[in-house]
Structure 1
Amino acid sequence: MNTNYFYKKYVIAILLISSTIFTGCEKFLDTQPQGSYTLDNYPYPQGGGPFDEFIFGVYDDLRSYSVHVDGFINATSIRSDDADKGSTANDGGADVFGMDNFPVLTTSGRANALWTGFLGIVTKCNEAIYQVESNDDIVSDEEIKQQTIGEARFFRGYAYFMLVRLFGRVPLIDKMLDDPAQQLNIRQNSVAEIYKFIEDDLNFAAANLPLSWDERFIGRATQGAANGILAKVYLTQGKWAQASSAAQKVMTSGQYDLTTDYAKIFGEDGENSSESVFEVQATASPTVTQTNGTQYASIQGVRGAGNWNLGWGWNVPSDVLEAAYEPEDPRKARTILYSSTNTTENFTIYSELMPRYPSDVPNPRYNHKVLGSPNLRNTISRGCWWMNIRILRYADVVLMYAEAANELGQTEEARTALNSIRARARRGAAEGILPDVATNNQNTLRNAIRHERRIELAMEHDRFFDIVRWGIAKQMLDAAGKTNFRIGRDELLPIPQAQIDLSKGVLEQNPGY
């Protein structure tokens, strides 16, 4: 395949990686389509590589509706005990009702979108690897080739990690197929085989990705991202020693820390901070309001009128999440956005008076972590399509290390890691708020770590997977009023019936559906 045609194009695709560094709200000014080629950076921007055109399509897919938007929010957050569907009673129909209180429909369009979206990422990763290994028209040194393969294998490993947690047994596709239709008739591999494949991909990525990129490529996958996701892969399987080792590699890399205040992390000025291990990049401008962004925040935005018509109002913090916070925990106010009432005025982090519930908005609470700044809402759009999606934060890595260390009997190390998260959370709060955990009892410490994960990472798409791997999903979901959850069925989504039909029965349905 001759790729000169691609190099001669000034714009190869809408990419996620910006050609200039953005800080805070500056990323929205004079925004050009990301990934543009100019006379100054042709044939590819300095700090990149000749295979970027193939890997950048993967970054584009990360923002897509089928990957990290509607189905993702439903399957990872609304299915959990920490969130409810929200909006009005009938909004979303049976598809979303099944996500909120089980079982998910075998005909669910959202489950089908997740299946096709993440397998679509696998396909693009396999194509990128094929181009590196087989395209003789592109001249590159071996280091760049291995780095590009590492980048592709990072995303392929991440995509399969999502797929195996969502669906269990899925087809393992490790190379570019001559005919894309072949993908429809590949039998499912075992969960153990999928996890082995994920581990191999992420270990290769960790060995070949850089610690950091040129500042013009902020947001690209790094060694820390690979080791961080790998730690979660090991943790999910109960491989405590491996999880501890992978997390420690991130913690000792010198690239990340807990200096960013919790209240700042989720705003525009907290994007790509020292807290960020990996996040999906999005941007917008008054003239390009959606094309380079993602609908992630809009789906969760306050459902109101006028200035408060910010979105669908889905994925609202639940009663049980609200009750789980310790007294005066500052993280609660940054996570739960309260509507005003006839007797109480509540405000956003930007000091805006919230509309009243139930007269002006249908829900008493919304997700505060996805609220963009009012200045940008007034100058770009109400939907906040520019908001990045946090996939892995440093605090998550520290808590994974704490959990693994505790399971290994390393009580002091686990407690120290846990308390570092609490120390950041209480920074600036009154004395006595969120005191250090002092217990030496492994089970008590285990529960403290689990509590801290729930609170620190609330509404960030880990909770459902956490309660499933801890074996407490039924207990926690029943307590949240989601009593239709059935053990042995609802830990996984159904294999989409549309995919079973396309496979002519090669794909097998998950138990209980």
Structure 2
Amino acid sequence: MKIVMKSIKQIIAISFVGLVLSSCDLSLDRIPETNLSDANFWATEDNFRMACNQFPSLITAESIVYDDLRSDFATGTGLNSISDGSRMTPATSGDWNGPYQLIFGTNKVIEKAEGKQITNINRWVGEAKFWRAFAYFLLVKKFGDVPLVLRVLNVTDPEFTDGRKSRDVVLQQIYDDLDFAISNLPTQQVLGQAGYGRISKSAALAFKSRVALYFGTHMKYHKWGDAAKHLQLAITTSELTMNEGHSLYTAKPYYNLFQLDGEGFGNKENILAIIFGQSLTNSIRSHNIGREMENGYLSITRAMVEEFLCADGLPFKQSPLAEWPEKDPSSVFKNKDPRMKATIYTEGEVFGSPVVYKWNLPAIRTRFSPKKYCIVADWDSRQSFVDVAMIRYAEVLLNYAEAKYEKDNAISDADLNKSINLLRARVGMPNLTNQFVIANGLNMQTEIRRERNVELAQEGFRYDDIIRWKIAEQVLPKRMLGATFFANVYTGSVRVSSDGYILIQDESSRKFDPARDYLYPVPVREISLSDGSIKQNPKW
């Protein structure tokens, strides 16, 4: 029997019959049907390992690659209601239910490990606590205060009437879980090829740096908590991760990092990846995001395109290398950071359908089609097995640089050289230095954020970034644009702005209420089932 938890309060509604919270099955595809009792199942290390196998299966490639649809950097086949501010309070939501499904499973593993004299038991508890921290981070980012459930529940347990716990309390629990994981998980060297895809010590450290940077900057710009404390924690955990033996992928060009070439233990940049495999004849787990993106499920907006610097390190509106005004669709790609062509298709490249990319593909609404994780050979099969990175070493370097700057409102050239300039050197871009920023009238914070936008494009960071920086109220209400319109290239029905860009959505149809939209609405069902203990977020 395969059960998926739909809400905390549903446990009461269906009297706990057959639920993950009290079942030995734990929704594990890989556990064979047996007559083992619950006590007998939780008696071996192998079974704890199998129990932990379920957790990454709850994370999809789509949840990472398509996350930017919530932001100003991407659009899909239709408009996104979070991006344009038109969303309504949902009855139910996977944004709430999904993380709690993961939490309930982790709690089961953690509880069953208590008192067990089993080899390596703390390693498996460490994996479970990593995923529990991951799930609570998803919840707190979106909802703020949330119910904190740390054990397998019974119908009379007080967690059902406690309501939402302060995000400070939940954040401390996230840190506590990650600290346990850091102390008990093997290093990536010990895991080796056989353990690639499992949680390592460096994965827990890197994720802690992500959490600390998020809340350190959120506190700074939303004016709550001790921002400096969390920013220092981001610096410390980034530095510890940087000492764990990871490095940037340089075996092939940047583009190949997101192709099959970039898979496996040999790529020390991927600290944690969602593993897919193996082939059409042995399809264990696959996705179809490459074909979907080529069908317009995600296209890149003008706002993202303008983040790419020219080859001299200057913004295109400032650089003499920029071809401006644009003469044709290729102009915007000329003399740019090589990551631009590695991230966005240009005419003449091998594609899925048509077999050669054309500027005028109506399915690509902005006419900027993303490349990351697009495997052209997978077009016909509709199945792709390329792994998708959850945590890259590049992010850790960016976390370090940003936390350094945000904590002190300054960053040394030495710190830039051990972080951002490693990323730039990989693609042949000039170093970012304090003197360069001053000489060219740039802003260091803007350039650090730009580097993050460019390096991590299409990897699910933009929406969280504009929330924590408190600039969503500035960028999301702006009109959404695509490529510069050329009448001799773009045919068919295309909306065009007054200044000559493909218009996806006018500013009159986009809004962001800073008193409301920095948090998600709590699903109506969760409020009604809580008998009033769970309250709605402000103005929803």
Query: TM-score normalised to the size of structure 2?
Result: 0.72
Any residues of structure 2 matched to 1:90-109 within 5 Å, and which?
97-107=80-90
Q: Which residue of 2 aligns with 1:127?
A: 108
**Kept after mapping to 2: 8 A contact 1:129/1:149:** yes
- In structure 2, the CA distance between the partners of 1:350 and 1:200, relative to structure 1 (3 Å rule), is farther
Q: What is the CA-CA distance between 1:352 and the residue it aligns to?
A: 4.7
List gaps (5 residues or longer) in structure 1.
1-5, 16-34, 38-42, 90-95, 304-312, 427-433
The amino acid across from 1:333 in the alignment is K
Correspondence 1:223 to 2:201: yes
Q: What is the CA-CA distance between 1:216 and the residue it aligns to?
A: 1.9
Query: Secondary structure, in 3 states, of the residue corresponding to 1:478?
Result: coil
Q: Which residue of 2 aligns with 1:69?
A: 62
Of 315, 338, 353, the match for 2:298 = 315
- In structure 2, the CA distance between the partners of 1:156 and 1:54, relative to structure 1 (3 Å rule), is same
Q: Which residue of 2 aligns with 1:262?
A: 254
Q: Which residue of 2 aligns with 1:31?
A: none
Q: Distance in 2 between matches of 1:491 and 1:267?
A: 35
The amino acid across from 1:414 in the alignment is D
The amino acid across from 2:286 in the alignment is G
Any residues of structure 2 matched to 1:402-481 within 5 Å, and which?
402-406=401-405, 407-408=407-408, 409-416=410-417, 417-426=419-428, 434-439=429-434, 444-481=443-480
Q: Which residue of 1 aligns with 2:211?
A: 233
Any residues of structure 2 matched to 1:347-386 within 5 Å, and which?
347-348=350-351, 352-354=355-357, 357-358=360-361, 364-374=367-377, 376-378=378-380, 381-384=381-384, 386=385
Bigger Cα displacement from structure 2, 179-188 vs 231-240: 179-188
Correspondence 1:337 to 2:330: no
Correspondence 1:191 to 2:177: no
- Give per-residue Cα distances to partners, 1:457-483, cap 9 Å, x unaligned: 011111111122122222222345463
Q: Which residue of 1 aligns with 2:497?
A: none
Of 509, 523, 534, the match for 1:507 = 534
- In structure 2, the CA distance between the partners of 1:181 and 1:301, relative to structure 1 (3 Å rule), is farther
**Kept after mapping to 2: 8 A contact 1:54/1:128:** yes
Query: Secondary structure, in 3 states, of the residue corresponding to 1:62?
Result: coil
The amino acid across from 2:382 in the alignment is R
- Give per-residue Cα distances to partners, 1:238-269, cap 9 Å, x unaligned: 22211111001110111333435421111122
Query: Secondary structure, in 3 states, of the residue corresponding to 1:155?
Result: helix
Q: Distance in 2 between matches of 1:447 and 1:279?
A: 29
- Give per-residue Cα distances to partners, 1:406-447, cap 9 Å, x unaligned: 233441333212111111122xxxxxxx31112157993222
Of 525, 532, 540, the match for 1:498 = 525
The amino acid across from 2:56 in the alignment is Y
Q: Identity rate of aligned residues, in percent? A: 26
Query: Secondary structure, in 3 states, of the residue corresponding to 2:476?
Result: helix
Any residues of structure 2 matched to 1:24-63 within 5 Å, and which?
49-63=46-60
Q: Which residue of 1 aligns with 2:293?
A: 301
**Kept after mapping to 2: 8 A contact 1:55/1:151:** yes
List gaps (5 residues or longer) in structure 2.
1-22, 34-39, 217-229, 311-335, 481-506
Q: Distance in 1 between matches of 2:166 and 2:106?
A: 21
**Kept after mapping to 1: 8 A contact 2:286/2:383:** no
The amino acid across from 2:51 in the alignment is F
Correspondence 1:82 to 2:77: no
Query: Secondary structure, in 3 states, of the residue corresponding to 1:390?
Result: strand
Q: Which residue of 2 aligns with 1:21?
A: none
- In structure 2, the CA distance between the partners of 1:171 and 1:296, relative to structure 1 (3 Å rule), is farther
Q: How many residues align?
A: 432
Query: Secondary structure, in 3 states, of the residue corresponding to 1:301?
Result: helix
- In structure 2, the CA distance between the partners of 1:418 and 1:56, relative to structure 1 (3 Å rule), is same
The amino acid across from 2:309 in the alignment is E
**Kept after mapping to 1: 8 A contact 2:197/2:273:** yes
Q: What is the CA-CA distance between 1:373 and the residue it aligns to?
A: 4.1
Q: What is the CA-CA distance between 1:296 and the residue it aligns to?
A: 5.1
Q: Distance in 1 between matches of 2:239 and 2:479?
A: 34
- In structure 2, the CA distance between the partners of 1:480 and 1:217, relative to structure 1 (3 Å rule), is farther
Q: Distance in 2 between matches of 1:447 and 1:405?
A: 14
Q: Which residue of 1 aligns with 2:239?
A: 248
Q: Distance in 1 between matches of 2:80 and 2:387?
A: 27
Q: Distance in 2 between matches of 1:422 and 1:363?
A: 27
**Kept after mapping to 1: 8 A contact 2:148/2:159:** no
Q: Which residue of 2 aligns with 1:117?
A: 98
Q: Which residue of 1 aligns with 2:185?
A: 209
**Kept after mapping to 2: 8 A contact 1:258/1:274:** yes
Query: TM-score normalised to the size of structure 1?
Result: 0.76
